[in-house]
Amino acid sequence: MKLCTMKRHGENTIGAVVDENIVIDIHEAYTALLRKQGEPKARALARVMIPQSMIEFIAGGESTLDAARDAVSYVIDGKHRVDGDGRPLALPLDDIALQAPIPRPPKFFCATVSRKDTWERAIKPENPHPTYFIKLSSCVVGPYDPIEIPDIGVVGPEVEVAAVIGKPGKYIPGDKVNDYIFGYTIHNDITAHELRKKAEWITVVREDGSQEKLTYQGRYKCFDTFAPMGPWIVTKDEFDDINNQALSMISRLNGEVVQSGTTADTVFPFPAFIEYLSHAHTLEPGDIVSGGTVLPAPGWTMMSIDLRKIGGLLESEVERIGTIKNPIIAI
């Protein structure tokens, strides 16, 4: 199932994308189903069974998903395209204002040094483990919203698959991680590469003369709009093993491929990454775990994909999930 957050009647609600062109307002559809069944408090019960917040929906677990499936079946199989008052339950996708699937995730983890080619060259400690940073939820924008880039040097794309956590967990064993994943979406980890190289570091000089260079991602990956996400969440039952399936991951800038790889290119697949995260952090419904990016396409480097200078439209595509399309705006 593809589940999106959409703006309707001035507030966010949840839709189910049933083909390339149709979205079902599952809250309204479930309300109509309950009324058809004679439920006197249909709308109140629908708000409990199918909350309009994606985080609350995810936290509802299987009972909420079952209610959503019933709502979709009522519209598609039962051919109820409008409710009892004639209001549409199935809407053209082009008429919908899609938001980020989770507009403000509780926690947002992103893998670092995740590509196998970089990892193999890296100097690592004994028994190396995943490394990561935390991205601010205020970075998140929707699948078609603009990415606003200040004059901070080269800023580039990093197309990624992000897992959405479905239930609380701590000390999760790797072979149980799939039980804690709700689904997957697309995230582009927009990164100010030049800012990182030139300004976001300090070299500590100790009394004995030894030195250590320190750098943190708090600024160069966390400007507002630096986490476009969407267009929806595809529930985990649509995949066997997303890392081993080697799904295509592509960034395009004005139609030209600038990044290309697959979900098999990351060093630590989601089971290992999420297990490691859960030993430090209690994971919650709606948390985002972004798994890392892929190589630049032939003829490009990360430093030559200069979004602000080139401008235009950035597309981030992952096979079997979809595509987000974000205009670039220099500010």
Average pLDDT, integer, range 47-62: 93
DSSP 146: P
Task: Spell out the domain ranges in the chain.
Answer: 2-98, 108-330
pLDDT of 164 reads: 98
Strand pairing partners for 147? 328
Residues 155, 306 contacting (CB under 8 angstroms): yes
pTM score of the predicted model: 0.94
Predicted pLDDT at 217: 86
- Binned at pLDDT 50, 70 and 90, residue 86 comes out as confident
> Once rounded to an integer, what is the mean pLDDT over residues 225-234?
97
Q: Topology of 2-98 in CATH?
A: SH3 type barrels. (2.30.30)
CATH code for the domain defined by 108-330: 3.90.850.10
Share of the chain above pLDDT 70, in %: 100
Q: Is the pLDDT of residue 116 over 90?
A: no
pLDDT band at 126 (very low <50, low <70, confident <90, very high): confident
> What average pLDDT does the segment 250-271 reach?
94
Confidence of residue 240 (pLDDT cuts 50, 70, 90): confident
**How far apart (Å, rounded) are the C-alpha atoms in residues 99 and 92?**
16
Q: Residue 256 pLDDT more than 90?
A: yes
What's the CA gap between 247 and 282, in Å, rounded? 29
For residues 81-93, average pLDDT = 85
One-letter amino acid identity for 21?
A: N
Can you tell me the distance from the alpha carbon of 230 to that of 158, in angstroms, rounded to the nearest whole number?
14
Please give the pLDDT value at position 290. Answer: 97
Extract the runs of DSSP E, i.e. beta strands, from the chain: 2-8, 11-17, 22-25, 90-92, 97-98, 108-112, 131-134, 140-141, 147-149, 159-165, 181-188, 201-205, 211-215, 227-235, 248-253, 256-262, 288-290, 312-318, 322-330
